[in-house]
Structure 1
Amino acid sequence: MKRPTRLICISAAILTAACPTLAQQTEPIKRTPLQRFEVPQTSYETIIGLAELAPDVNVGRHTHPGPESGYVIEGGFELLVDGEAPRQISAGESYLVPAMIVHDAKTGPNGAKVIATYLVPDGKPTSSPAN
């Protein structure tokens, strides 16, 4: 390996080790769909997914057309639901946000990993931004 290339590789390795957040995901939220199915004898579907929230991010104010429930696998976040006091949700805890209620979530330095379940009327988006 030539000296300049070797120096760049060593510098990159040191920087990555010294700043582990550089090696982490760059997306604020990584969503992985796990399951989607129709609710029998209704016009609703259930959507279950894994959400991986990066450290120190705000999800953004939004609503869902049906209820959202979730279980925190790792880390935690502050749940900000309009009309309610902020709540800290930690690993091992669950939450529920009613349909059409504006809410947001803010992670801390460890981020969060959440299994989320949405009950959505057929043909509606899972979420919509709110002002």
Structure 2
Amino acid sequence: MMLDRRVLLRTSGVAAAGVLGAALPSSAAAAEPSHAGGTPVPEGQDPTGGVTRTLLQEHPSPAEGWEAVQTLVQIPRHRESGRHSHPGVEVGYIVQGDVLMEFDDRPPLRLCTGDPFFIPNGVIHNARNVGKVTTMMLSTYVVDETKPLVTTY
């Protein structure tokens, strides 16, 4: 199934999971999220609410079956992208803000304005805004064009 990435990228949080046909695990919905600095998200409020992904460009890759997609991701204070993975690599740059990049398989990585980052193919991660301003990340993906850009967990 081909996914209209423009629809996904204009959608955020749980709504994006619906576009992808994915569901959040019931344990994730029941847990009360808390954030770095001890600032909890109020009960019943989506920790990914307000996160936006704007498609900047999308082009075929020189490798058949792959494409390059570039987005601007904005994460408000005390919010997060949500646990997810991509069917290819993500090469990124923190344009503004402070992020704690959390991984399922390695220690978290603290990123600040001006820091580059790399997420390997299929690695589950979550970008948590731990700063005082809306975080802006430029993310470029080289992904399998037959798979959804984002799989949520």
Task: Give the TM-score range, shorter chain.
Answer: 0.7 to 0.9
| 1:13-32 paired onto structure 2 within 5 Å | 27-32=49-54
Moved over 4 A (4+): none
What do residues 59-92 of structure 1 show as CA deviations (whole Å, max 9, x unaligned)?
A: 1111111011110111121000122111111110
Conserved in 1, the CA contact under 8 Å of 2:68 and 2:142? yes
| 1:1-131 paired onto structure 2 within 5 Å | 27-108=49-130, 109-130=132-153
Query: Structure 1 residues 41, 87: closer, same or farther in 2, change over 3 A?
Result: closer
Q: Where does the alignment leave 5 or more consecutive residues of structure 2 unmatched?
A: 1-48
What do residues 2-55 of structure 1 show as CA deviations (whole Å, max 9, x unaligned)?
A: xxxxxxxxxxxxxxxxxxxxxxxxx52111111100012421000001111111
Relative to the length of structure 1, the TM-score reads 0.75
The structure with the larger Rg is: 1
Amino acid at match of 2:139: A
The 3-state SS of whatever aligns with 1:67 is strand
Relative to the length of structure 2, the TM-score reads 0.64
Higher normalized strand content (fraction of residues)? 1
The 3-state SS of whatever aligns with 2:88 is coil
- How much is the aligned-residue C-alpha RMSD, in angstroms? 1.6
Matches of 1:110 and 1:49 in 2, distance apart? 19
Conserved in 2, the CA contact under 8 Å of 1:77 and 1:111? no
Conserved in 2, the CA contact under 8 Å of 1:69 and 1:95? yes
Matches of 2:56 and 2:80 in 1, distance apart? 23
Amino acid at match of 2:150: S
Deviation at 1:103, TM superposition (A): 0.8
State the percentage of identical aligned residues: 27
Matches of 2:95 and 2:127 in 1, distance apart? 15
